[in-house]
């Protein structure tokens, strides 16, 4: 992990109003979490993602290797293009979700929201045998800002020139997300430029609430070695025509025979939900809470979780230690 690099952005963000809580290594908020949450929908939220996984994958064999190790078709990418893919184990379980940026045919940048770069690094290294490819943690040299919301593309343009930046664009639920990767020494200038243009500095409280509201799974919460891509609603990150990759046999079988036993859902409850709480129905295990929003909505507290097949229909009511929980099916499974 990039301790010294992280602390350099920490001091800067503290001087810009960031509050750090013990449960987060990242800013919890910048003074008004509700206003920050609103920015995700109405304008643009700005988050420091410099502590998250950032890997350089270099070598003539790097792209081909990553294509063989992960779920999406990467060989059809063109230089300058980015694509999200999943590293999966032999059992089809998720190691990490990577945004792959093809900077050149022998030069990739790999980004994830995971705070543990070793998950992807160790996995890639384990299967690098005869290939001309080398993966290394780049978080000491590079910083990253995420812009989420309807104005993200517009503000991202401000950093397209003069910041030696790489822009990675993707959909984020029904919103839009733009990650801007830059040399670490340009971070402070970039942050101030975006804030001056109207980007709303936002912390993890708002990010988690927005993520839960949109039903977006995250590394370490829903995307773990207990989860396969289909139950997390990430079928669009899986190519069923590219041929073999690690875990392909299991994922293909789950899809072909409709063998999913559980699904990611959004949950609401009158009381605050607890991450890790067991969900039950008629005293039988029905699922588990994996993420919670710590910003209460107008009528309920929300979370994400996995529930078993018998309970994943929209509107199903099940039990939790915190009270009755209503299941909301995610659009991705419609």
Partner 1 sequence: MTTAHPKPQVPINSIRVTEKAAGKVREFATRDGKDVFGLKVAVKGGGCSGLTYVLEIVDGPEDDDKVIEQNGISVYVPKKAFVFLAGTVLDFSDGLNGKGFEFTNPNAKTNCGCGTSFSV
Of these, 6, 72, 128, 165, which contacts partner 1 (CB under 8 A)?
A: 128
Nearest CB to partner 1, comparing residues 69 and 100: 69
Candidate list 11, 34, 60, 90; residue touching partner 1; CB under 8 A: 90
Task: Please pick, from the candidates 19, 131, 153, 310, the single residue that binds partner 1 as defined by CB under 8 A.
Answer: 131
Say how many C-beta atoms besides its own lie within 10 A of residue 200's C-beta. 25
Residue positions counted in the chain? 334
**3-class secondary structure, 117:** helix
Q: How far is the CB of 54 from partner 1 (least distance, A)?
A: 21
For residue 38, count CB atoms less than 10 angstroms from its CB and return exposed for 0-12, middle for 13-18, buried for 19 or more: middle
Decide if residue 73 touches partner 1 (CB under 8 A). Answer: no
How many residues sit close enough to partner 1 to count as binding (CB under 8 A)? 17
Considering only 26, 46, 47, 65, the residue that binds partner 1 (CB under 8 A) is: 65
**Selected range binding partner 1 among 113-121, 126-134, 220-228, 261-269, rule: CB under 8 A:** 126-134
Query: Under a CB-based contact definition with an 8 Å cutoff, are residues 138 and 83 in contact?
Result: no
3-class DSSP assignment, residue 179: strand
The answer to whether 161 and 193 have CB atoms below 8 angstroms apart is: no
For partner 1, the binding residue among 3, 129, 161, 258 (CB under 8 A) is 129
Smallest CA-to-CA distance from 39 within 198, 189, 160 is with 198
C-beta contacts of 10-18 below 8 A and 24+ residues apart: 12/187, 12/188, 12/191, 13/48, 13/191, 13/201, 16/191, 16/195, 16/201, 17/201, 18/201, 18/203
By the rule CB under 8 A, 134 interacts with partner 1:
no
Determine, following the binding rule CB under 8 A, whether residue 62 of this chain makes contact with partner 1. no
Rounded least distance, CB 72 to partner 1, Å = 14
Residues 96-125 that bind partner 1 (CB under 8 A): none
Which of the stretches 28-36, 190-198, 238-246, 316-324 binds partner 1 when contact is defined by CB under 8 A?
A: 238-246
- List binders of partner 1 among 166-225 (CB under 8 A): none
Determine the Cα–Cα distance for residues 149 and 297; give it in Å rounded to an integer.
19
Q: Does 229 bind partner 1 (CB under 8 A)?
A: no
| Residue of 297, 298, 227, 236 whose CA lies nearest to 264 | 227
Residue 127 touching partner 1 (CB under 8 A) = yes
**44, 46, 54, 69: which one binds partner 1 (CB under 8 A):** 69
Min dist CB 224 to partner 1, Å, is 19
Residues in contact with partner 1 by CB under 8 A are 65, 68-69, 90, 126-131, 244-250
């Amino acid at each position: 992990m990039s301790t010294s690099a992280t602390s350099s952005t920490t001091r800067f963000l503290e001087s810009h109003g960031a509050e750090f809580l013990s449960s987060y290594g990242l800013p919890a908020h910048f003074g008004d979490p509700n206003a920050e949450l609103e920015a995700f929908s109405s304008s643009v939220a700005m988050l420091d993602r410099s502590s998250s996984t950032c890997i350089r994958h270099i070598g003539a064999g790097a792209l081909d290797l990553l294509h063989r190790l992960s779920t999406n078709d990467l060989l059809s990418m063109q230089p300058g293009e980015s694509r999200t893919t999943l590293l999966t184990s032999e059992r089809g379980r998720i190691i990490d979700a990577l945004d792959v940026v093809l900077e050149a045919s022998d030069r990739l940048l790999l980004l994830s929201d995971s705070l543990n770069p070793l998950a992807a690094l160790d996995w890639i290294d384990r299967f690098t045998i005869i290939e001309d490819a080398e993966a290394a943690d780049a978080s000491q040299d590079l910083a990253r800002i995420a812009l989420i919301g309807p104005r993200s593309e517009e503000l991202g343009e401000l950093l397209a020139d003069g910041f030696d930046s790489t822009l990675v664009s993707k959909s984020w639920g029904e919103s839009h997300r733009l990650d801007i990767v830059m040399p670490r020494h340009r971070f402070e200038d970039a942050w101030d430029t975006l804030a001056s243009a109207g980007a709303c500095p936002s912390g993890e409280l708002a990010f988690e609430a927005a993520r839960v509201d949109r039903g977006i799974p995250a590394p370490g919460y829903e995307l773990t070695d207990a989860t396969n891509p289909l139950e997390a609603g990430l079928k669009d990150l899986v190519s069923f025509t590219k041929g073999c990759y690690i875990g392909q046999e299991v994922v293909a079988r789950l899809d072909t025979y409709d063998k999913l036993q559980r699904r990611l859902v959004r949950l609401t409850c009158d009381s605050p939900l607890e991450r890790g709480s067991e969900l039950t129905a008629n005293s039988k295990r029905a699922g588990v809470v994996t993420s919670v929003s710590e910003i209460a909505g107008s009528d309920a507290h929300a979370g994400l979780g996995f529930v078993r097949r018998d309970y994943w229909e929209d509107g199903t009511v099940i039990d939790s230690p915190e009270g009755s929980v209503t299941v909301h099916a995610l659009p991705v499974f419609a």
